[in-house]
Every structure is written in structure tokens, then in C-alpha cells.
Amino acid sequence: MLNRIFKLIVIILMIIGICLGVSITIKKELPKKRQEENMANIINKIQVKSADIKEFYTYGRAFNIAGEINNINKDNFEGVKLVITDGGEYEKTYNLNSNLEDNKLEFSSDIEINSGIILDELENKNYYCMLRLKLNNSAEPKYYSFINSSGNENIEYYTVTKEEKNRKARIEFIKNKSKDNEYNLLKISLEDIDLPEEIYDIIIDAGHGGKDKGENAGAVTEADVALDYAKTLKQSLDSLGYKVKLTRDENNSENYTDTNMYDEDGRITVACKSKAKLMISFHINNGVKNLNGLEIYSPCKSNLNFAKEMASKIKEYSSINYSNNNSFKEADGVYVRNFTKSVIKEFENTANKKGYEPYNITLDTPYLYTIREVGGIATGAYVDGRNKLYSKNEYYNSNQGIECYQIELGYIKNDLNIILNEKDAYIRGITEAIKNNF
């Protein structure tokens, strides 16, 4: 009797094991089969010819591209779109800026560098980017994939921490052989990961530091106030679950000067190493005696929604006014300062006097280095070592940029009491805006 029961148990366990094995095999094979089907759908849709990608980058949470495709007849051209698809049920279309001259179509995704494909909004799967071209003489649009002609490397992007979870997005150019043809593909794949120790969501920069005190009013220095604000904002964001790093604190800024921000442990280098998505930099204005109020400086070619919300919430919770400075003003409390022709000429003259090639500066280049140099190619970073007064920014040509905002808390001559006494109100406003946008 016991033998029969034992044999029956063994048989049952064997059946369970076989069923589990079959189930595991099916679970493994189904996604693989689906991916193969999706890839076949992609290959069947696109042309063998590829569009050239001249630039691709992440800025903040957004992914953008720019490129060209030749032999497009202007008389037949109707429109162009960017498509991202998994080859199955998911497909999303994005507008492109385009210009067609001499049968060469130049295109770029969203003109706002912090818009475009928002990587954090994508689910964990494989996606492929394609150019959708509509011609007047074609009933159906034509689809082209992309080849990397930029000189930039593939991107590893890490999503902002949500509920203690992170994901990694790989943005890479791959090749796929099908029958007698080889196809170039731009692929975005997302997967769950444990965030590497050296990677952060948000970087907070306390302006100046060490030997560089910034502005001062008696014993009160801009550097000290900025650090106090930076540490308080870090505590606030830490409590919400973000992974946050300071560019400097009491432990690493003793020897800082106004020229070593690009050194190995300089503020710009510390920020860029973090691969953060957002950077907040604290400062205090000097200015003439009749100026006062809050100023938030934003990257050019970006939408200003986040900056506007920060300014609005800081004003709501504190007694600070929007600045009465009208230079470079874009909205209440929001400013975008680029290089001007006269300042570009000054930089050229300095370069010529000191014997180095002038920097590649345009009217679209952000003037504030904190914003410019952490944005890489998206913001036209240019400090590449030719001016020996500064170290080389090792990330000046990076295609992974940090979305950076410089907050001028007020004017030291007229707003100091508010700045010193209403720090918690400022921090509350900034924290709420970050929570709503990141």
C-alpha cells in the first residue's frame, strides 16, 4: 500500500515537473516569437535605404534627433514625421522640423530640446524609430530607418526613480540582415535595473564656493547661502525618494576658485558624471540699487513650462516678487540669456590675444556656463581646453545632457532678508514643481 502511494506521489511530481517545464518554455518562447514577428513587421515596412542621423541626444528626460535624407524631389514632397513603434500594437508619431533644398531633406525632432520622445513614459520593451515620408505621387507613405552618421556613441539612459524603482534605456544603432539585404535600425530598449551607485536623478549646484565667495553683504556670502539652499533642497527631494547629489559641500569645496569648475572634482564635472536628468543651480544677483526679485534662467530652445511653474510656486509661498529686470525676460520670473553679437566679439578678441582659436559660439549659445556646459551638444557646450585658464570640460561634446536651471534667489542689496528668512518657502515651491514635472 505504501509503495503504491509512494509511486503515485512520484508520478504526480513528475507530471507537475513536466508541466512546469513546458510552461517555462512557452513563457520564454512566446516573447521571443513575438519579437521576431515585430522585427519582421519593421523590416517589411522600411526601405533598404536609410536616413542619416547627424545628431542624437538626450536632454533631461527627452530624446531627440536631427539628420538628412537625399534624393527627395521637392515637387513631390508632402510631409515628414518621426515614428516610434514596437512593430506590433504600439506606434506614436512626432512632428519634425524640416527643410528641403537641392533634393536634400534636412529634419530635426522637436525644436524644444526638453521635449521630444520622453523616455520615462515608455514601457519595458523594444522600440524602433523610423522616418515616415509622404510624397504626392505615392498612395502610401514610405518608411526609412536610420544610420548613425553623427560620430556620437550609443546612449545608456537611466529613468528618474519612481517608488524606489529605476529602468535603463539603451539607445543604439543596430543592423539586421533579412534575405539579401542589410537594414540599419535605431533601437530603444527599456528594462528594470538597480540604479548604479554613481548615477543620480537630480544634481543640485551651490554656486561659487571655496575661495570664490560670489556676492557678499557683510559677513553673508553668496557661496554660503547657495550651499544652505542646496542642502535643504536635497533633504526635501531625498524625502520624496529621488536620488540626489550636491556638486559641492563643506567636504569638497575648500579649494574651489572661479576657474576650476571643469577640473576632475569641479562642479561641472561632478554634475556631468552623475548622468542626472535635472540640475538646479543656486545663486544671488548683485545688480544696481533699483533691481529686485526672483529670476530663473532657463536653457534656450526649451519649453519654459517647468521654469514658469517654479517661479510661480516660489512667489506663491514666499514674499519675493518677480524680478523687475526686463533684460532677457521671457515670462514673469523666467529668463533666457544667450550670447549677443557684442559679447561673441569680445570672446573672439580675447582668444586672438591669448593665441587660441575662438570658440564656436552663436546667438543660440547659452551665456551662463552652468546651463551650457552640462547640456553637452544640446546646449552648445564648448569648453574644450583651448583656453588654458580652464581645464577641458570632458563632457562638452556629450550627447547626454542635463536639463539645467539657474535660480537667482533675488538681489543681495534689496532681497537679502527674504532670501535668509524664507528659505523653506522657496524650497517648498521648487520641490512641488520638481515633483509635478519629474
Average pLDDT over residues 263-286: 97
Looking at domain 202-437, its CATH class is alpha beta
Which tens digits make up the pLDDT trace of 102-131? 999 999 997 899 999 999 999 999 999 999
Nearest-angstrom CA–CA distance, 275 and 199: 6
Name the pairing type of β-strands 202-206 and 220-221.
unpaired
Give the model's pLDDT for residue 1.
61
Give the model's pLDDT for residue 139.
81
Question: What does pLDDT average to over the chain?
Answer: 93
In this prediction, residue 30 has a pLDDT band, given cuts at 50, 70 and 90, of very low
Give the model's pLDDT for residue 340.
98
Give the model's pLDDT for residue 35.
79
Nearest-angstrom CA–CA distance, 191 and 169: 7
In this prediction, residue 19 has a pLDDT band, given cuts at 50, 70 and 90, of low
In the chain, domain spans? 43-193, 202-437
Global pTM value = 0.91
Which tens digits make up the pLDDT trace of 301-311? 999 999 999 99
Q: If DSSP codes are grouped into helix, strand and coil, which group holds residue 174? A: strand
Q: Could you please state the CATH topology (level 3) that the domain comprising 43-193 is classified under.
A: Immunoglobulin-like (2.60.40)
Nearest-angstrom CA–CA distance, 437 and 435: 6
Give the model's pLDDT for residue 33.
82
Residue 93 has pLDDT above 80, yes or no: yes
Give the model's pLDDT for residue 394.
97
Q: Do domains 43-193 and 202-437 have the same CATH topology?
A: no
C-alpha torsion sign, points 344, 388, 402, 286: negative
Which tens digits make up the pLDDT trace of 136-169? 877 889 999 999 999 999 999 999 999 999 999 9
Average pLDDT over residues 376-405: 97
Give the model's pLDDT for residue 75.
86
Buried b / exposed e over 156-180, threshold 16 CB at 10 Å, is bbbbbbeeeebbbbebebeebeeee
Which tens digits make up the pLDDT trace of 205-230? 999 999 999 999 999 999 999 999 99
